[in-house]
Structure formats: C-alpha cells, structure tokens
Amino acid sequence: MAEVIAKGQVPDILFWVGCAGSFDQRAQKITRAFAAILNKLEINYAILGNEEACTGDPVRRAGNEFMFQMMAYQNIQVLNQYNVKKIVTTCPHCFNILKNEYAELGGHYEVVHHSSFLQSLINEGRIKLKGGGSFKGKRISYHDSCYLGRANGIYEAPRQVLEILDAELVEMKRCRTNGLCCGAGGAQMFKEEEKGDKRVNQERTDEAIDTGATIIAAACPFCNTMLTDGVKVREKEDDVKVLDIAELIAASMQDEHA
C-alpha cells in the first residue's frame, strides 16, 4: 500500500492477509491462490505488508480486552491514514472483527469475505469456467465457518462459488445454521481442549468423511487446519483433500486458461 500510494495510485481494494495467511505454511497457499485470481482478473488491489498487524481477534476472544484495543487502534490508524474504504479478507475471523467490532473504535470500512467477493465476480461474468475443470463430478462437502455462517449469515455465497465447479455438493447433516464448529473458534485454536470423549475437529471431520466426499471445502484458514488434522488422524490423506474455495477456483482457472 505504501508503494502504491507513493506512486499516486489508489487501489480499489485492500487485501487483508491476516496472521494465518501470512505465517501459516498451509494458509499461505490460500493467500497465493486468492492473489492469483486477483492478478489473473487484473483487479486493482494492495496489501499492507509489514504495516499489517493481527486484528486482535484471538486476544479479545481469550478475554484480553486491553490488548485487543491497543492492537485495533494501531490497525485503524494505519487504515485511516491510507483512507482505506474496502477490505477483502480470506479469514472469517478477520472479516468478522473488522466488519462488526472496529467501528466502535473509529474503523469504518466496507469489509467483504473472499467467498462473497468470488461470488460477485462469478455473477458479473468475470470468472468463467467451462465444465468446472478438474473438479467436474467430484463430491465436495462444504464446512460452514462459525464466523461466516452463524455470526454473519453468509451461507449461500461459498456454495454458489462451488457450484461453478460442476461438482456434486453433498451437505453434512449439521450444516448452515446448525453447522458444527471445527473446534478452533473462541481462541480454542491456541489452547488445550477441555476433557471430553472426542475432539471437536475429529467429530466434524467424521461428519464430512461420512458424506463420501473426496474434497472438504472450507473458507477459513482455521477450519482448514482443524479439518486437515482430522483427516490425518483418520489416515484418509490419500482419499480426502481439504481445500479452500479460492484454491478450488484458482486451480480450475489454471485448467481453463492453460
């Protein structure tokens, strides 16, 4: 963003990468896939780079309100300095907190999750796939992220993005408003779980595997990690892949434009 502004240019959107998308090796692939789509469609975007800090979502969920406000104020100062209007992010945690919880601290932005952004590109006819490429006829089960689904009511956008792949979308018994958390929400990602007879991520992965799907589609880096771990525990890595919707679209666009 600093380089773009220095050239006197104004990007249409700010791509908020997030901690997972920046530092987690698996989530970096999601970041690259989404960036590849933006580049291919020649969308005018920028990132904050080193000026981007964690949104403060995990610390607020863990109960450290003071730390959250310090982190949020720092980010808001940077965003407002660049006069940012529209933010797109691949992380529902970043999406939710930037959209719903930054306003009370002075951060007013149009915040869009990448599933909704991809859906709008498909609706505008900018993303076109002939026959869905390599995922045609594959059974795909989509897992609803808590922050996308129950927290923000986004259920259709990711499913409509998957429909363009010409695959068979199979729903888990617990889906949409009744979806089951992957086990990472509420800062659970960063702590040991309480005692129980089964890990939440294994419970959710089993539900996905039971659909007979060969691909579990997610739209959240946290969900991706938890479901990937669940697939590993069940020793199904050769049969079931966990992929973000951006990765599915990017791979299909490569097939399409090869």
Compute the C-alpha angle 34/39/41, nearest 5°: 100
* Other CB atoms within 10 Å distance of the CB of residue 105: 14
pLDDT value of position 132: 57
- Per-residue pLDDT tens over the stretch 186-224: 777 777 777 888 888 999 999 999 999 999 999 999 999
DSSP 153: -
Q: Are residues 52 and 164 in the same domain?
A: no
Domain end point (choices 118, 147, 172)? 118
Whether 125 maps to a domain, the answer reads: no
Sign of CA dihedral 144, 248, 18, 98: negative
Whether 249 maps to a domain, the answer reads: yes
Domain end point (choices 71, 96, 118)? 118
pTM strictly above 0.85: yes
Q: Are residues 147 and 96 in the same domain?
A: no
Domain end point (choices 63, 95, 118)? 118
Q: Are residues 11 and 103 in the same domain?
A: yes
pLDDT value of position 256: 58
Residue 166 structural domain: 131-257
The residue written with tokens 């050769």 in the block is 238
CATH number of the domain at 105, please. Answer: 3.40.50.1860
Compute the C-alpha angle 212/215/218, nearest 5°: 120
**Assigned token pair, 44:** 């005018």
- Provide the residue count of the chain: 258
**H helical segments located in the chain:** 2-6, 18-23, 25-40, 57-61, 65-81, 92-100, 114-123, 156-163, 200-210, 221-233, 245-257
User: Which residues, other chains included, contact 67 with Cβ-Cβ below 8 Å and sequence gap of 6+?
Assistant: 56, 59
Counting the structural domains of the chain, the total is 2
Q: What span, in angstroms and rounded, lies between the C-alpha atoms of 246 and 258?
A: 18
Q: Are residues 146 and 249 in the same domain?
A: yes
pLDDT value of position 258: 43
DSSP 75: H
pLDDT value of position 130: 67
Residue ranges of the chain with per-residue pLDDT less than 70: 130-133, 254-258
